[in-house]
Structure 1
Amino acid sequence: MLQLELIELCKANNRKAQMQLYRKYCDGMFCVAMRFLKNQDDAEDVLQESFIKAFQRLEQFSGQVTFGAWLKRIVVNGCIDFLKSKHQRTIELDEGYMHVSEDEDWQVETEVHLDEVKKSIESLPEKYKYVVQLFLIEGYDHAEISEILNISETASRTRLLRGKGMLKELLKELNYGTGS
């Protein structure tokens, strides 16, 4: 059965088709949720809520992007909302006035393992962590990040640049054992 046919059956509230669609995407979306939440129970909860939300809003799915990409955005937003509700101490800074230079250099001078990078991303301040994770790990561009986080593209670029700088420093400290 083609994916579009499956989605049409889901829109018609066909439970068998919904289970089939759920089974097709649940493992991948669970991995996405785990990258954000680092807790299996929380990831499962957000995943379930995301699928419920997706099925409730299936009429909004236009097919302009793949169903997986559409669902992933729902999961990512669910994770971010969960983390925000858990921390509820977000302080916004108007970064729209700042000049951002494009810096595509993601080189780290020493050999670094992926686990070290992921762990270092986790220790970044929240507003930088989300942008860096969405850009590096999830592969979103600045336009998508600005929509997901409800910030301007300029703020996304600024936060990425600053987050990247912090990440480089953290990785240098890990490898050289020095602090600034």
Structure 2
Amino acid sequence: MTEEAILKGCLRNDAVAQRELYNKYSTRMLAVCYRFAPNREDAEDMLQEGFIKVFLQVHSFENRGSFEGWIRRIIVHTCINILKKNKKFNESVDIIHASGLYTREESIPAIMQAKQVVECIRLLPIGYRTVLNLYALEGYSHREIAELLNIEESTSRSQYTRAKSMLEDILVHKRIMQKPKPNVDWLAAVHQR
């Protein structure tokens, strides 16, 4: 089924089209949820809630940009809304992490295996992890993040800076330096921002 046929079917609330849409995008969107969630079960819950919103809001897709990008934005907003309901998240976004883990003795290679980096990102405190995901991976500006999370723009910037530093410390500490794989160059871009 083509994307256009899936979209038209979803607009008619056709269960087959909705199933096709879910099957086509759920794996990629679960990966997005997994970066925000504390565990796989929560990621799956975020995914389900996100797809419910997709199905309810499919009529608002205006064919500007990609359909997948539109779905991704709904999924990200769903993840953030779920996290904002969590009291621990609200407390941790404003916490300043003053102490470093240890002194860096090695540099991080520019190319890492994405799965390993995602696992290390999941070790970050929830506030750092959320800002890092939104800024470096989802492409939100610090102004957009501040509005989305109800924090100051300067808090978003400092959380991002601390997240990068802590992530680098985690990567060095765990010595997750593998042979480079082609086209997995996003950590270098994260480090340069």
Paired residue total: 162
- The aligned residue for residue 139 of structure 2 is 140
Indicate if the aligned counterparts of 2:89 and 2:126 stay in contact, CA closer than 8 A. no
**Matched residue SS, 1:90:** helix
Pairing of 1:121-136 with structure 2 (within 5 A)? 121-136=121-136
**Aligned: 1:109 with 2:120:** no
Moved more, 76-85 or 42-51: 76-85
Equivalent residue number for residue 71 of structure 2: 71
Q: Sequence identity of aligned pairs in percent?
A: 35
Unaligned runs of 5+ in 1: 94-107, 176-180
Deviation for aligned residue 1:164 = 1.7
Equivalent position of 2:165 in the other structure? 165
Asked whether 1:10 is paired with 2:10, we answer: yes
Of structures 1 and 2, the one scoring higher in RCO (CA 8 A, sep 6+) is 2
Seen in structure 2, the aligned counterparts of structure 1 residues 40 and 171 have a Cα distance that, compared at 3 Å, is closer
What's the CA shift for 1:45?
1.9
Amino acid corresponding to residue 140 of structure 1 in structure 2? G
In 2, Cα distance between equivalents of 1:64 and 1:90: 33
- Structure 1 residue 35: deviation in Å? 2.6
CA-based RMSD? 3.3
In the superposition, the TM-score normalised over structure 2's length comes to 0.65
- Cα displacement string for residues 142-171 of structure 1 (whole angstroms, at most 9, x for unaligned residues): 165456435565543343223223333444
Aligned to 1:104: none
Structure 2 runs not aligned, ≥5 long? 95-105, 176-193
- Gap change, CA 1:25 and 1:148, over 3 Å in 2: farther
Letter in 2 for 1:10: C
Mapped to 2, the partners of 1:16 and 1:116 lie a distance apart of 35
C-alpha displacement at 1:46, in angstroms?
1.7
